[in-house]
Amino acid sequence: MTRYIELLDHGYCELIEAWGSDERIVESARMSTGKGFLGWGPHFVCRACGCKWRNNHDETISLYDEHQVSCRECEGDTGACSDKMAGDEKLLRYLYEHKHSTPFEMAGLTIEVKAPIFVFRQWHRHRTQSYNEMSARYTPLPDENYRPNVERCIVVPGGNKQARGVNDLVPTHEQVIDWLENYVDPAYEAAERAYTRGLEIGIPKELARIPTSVARYSAMRASANLRNWLAFLTLRMDAHAQYEIRVYAEAVGAFIRREFPRTFDLFAEGNGYAGH
C-alpha cells in the first residue's frame, strides 16, 4: 500500500512515520501482569495433556504443525483432542469495546498534508494533535487554490445543514460553471496579483499574504497517538463531515489500516465502515 495519496486537485496526504503496533498495544495493557504479547489466535489446546499451539509475532511456536496430525506430547489425534481458543485479538477487542483507551496511546503516526486552508481550519479543532504548518511569513505560498468540480457544487438539500445552499437553493450546472469561471477564477487571479505585487515592492511577506483566500493550499505535518487519530476519524469520516476534510480522513484511515490492521478493523466495525 502506498504511503502517498493525492487528494482534491492539488493536495496530498503522506505517511511520514508510524510507531508502535497492535502487538505493542496488547503489551502495554498487560503491564500489571507482565505477560506481554502472547500471540494472535487461534490457539489450539490439547484436551488430553493441555499443551498449546500458538502464534508468537512472526514465528510459530507449535506443538502441532501442518504436517503433523497428533499431539507431540500425548500423541492424541489433533482433530479429536484439541479445543480452539482465541488469542490476543480477544484482549484487543475487549480494550477497544470497553473504552480502555490508554494502551492505544502507545502507538501513533505522523503525516504530512497539503490541503486548502479552510480544511486546516476544521482540522486544527482537534487539539490533541501536534501541528507544524508552513508559514507564509517566511516563504511565499504557491499559487494553488482549491477549485471544486461542478458536481461538488450541486448539493441536494438534506439533513446536513452546513452542506445546503441559502434557502435550500440548488444551482443549475450552467450557474455553477458561470460562478466558477466568472467569479471564483477571477477572484483567485486578483488575489494572486495583489499578493505577488506586494512581494515585488517589498511588502513584508506576513502582510503581502492577506489577499489570499481560505481556498489557498498550505502544507503541514500532524502527529498524534492512535487513540486520538481514531477520535479524529470518528468525526471526520462521518457522512456529515464536509467532503473536503472527509477525503483526507479516509487517507489517514488507510494509513492506520496499513500500520494497525487489527485496531482499524475494530474501529471500522464499531463505526459501520465494514467496506473500508
Q: Based on the residue annotation, tell me whether 236 is a catalytic residue of this protein.
A: yes
Length of the chain: 276
Residue 33 within a domain: yes
| Structural domains counted in the chain | 3
pLDDT of residue 63: 40
Task: Specify the amino acid at residue 65.
Answer: D
Residue 229 within a domain: yes
One domain for residues 134 and 102: yes
Q: Which domain holds residue 80?
A: 39-63+75-87
Structure confidence by residue, pLDDT tens digits, 51-75: 655 443 333 334 434 444 455 556 5
- Span 247-263, average pLDDT: 97
One domain for residues 31 and 45: no
One domain for residues 158 and 183: yes
Say whether pLDDT at 159 is over 70. no
One domain for residues 134 and 190: no
Residue 68 within a domain: no
Residue 198 within a domain: yes
Residue 69 within a domain: no
One domain for residues 134 and 30: yes
Q: How confident is the model at residue 38 (pLDDT cuts 50, 70, 90)?
A: confident
pLDDT of residue 83: 56
Q: Locate cell 479543532: which residue?
A: 125
Q: Are 234 and 270 in contact (CB under 8 A)?
A: no
Q: Locate cell 466495525: which residue?
A: 269
Q: Are 146 and 9 in contact (CB under 8 A)?
A: yes
Residue 162 within a domain: yes
pTM: 0.84
Residue 194 within a domain: yes
Return the CATH number at 12.
3.30.1360.170
> What is the pLDDT of the chain when averaged over all its residues?
86
Query: How far does the chain reach from its first CA to its final CA, in angstroms?
Result: 14
pLDDT of residue 46: 67
Structure confidence by residue, pLDDT tens digits, 94-143: 999 999 999 999 999 999 999 999 999 999 999 999 999 999 899 888 99
One domain for residues 58 and 113: no
Q: Which of 209, 236, 257, 262 is catalytic?
A: 236
CA angle 16, 21, 22 (to 5 degrees): 140
One domain for residues 24 and 96: yes
What order do you get walking across the sheet with 43-46 strand by strand? 59-61, 52-56, 43-46, 82-85
pLDDT of residue 87: 87
- From 197, 214, 231, the end of a domain falls on 214
**Cα–Cα distance for residue pair 100/92, rounded to 1 Å:** 10
One domain for residues 122 and 233: yes
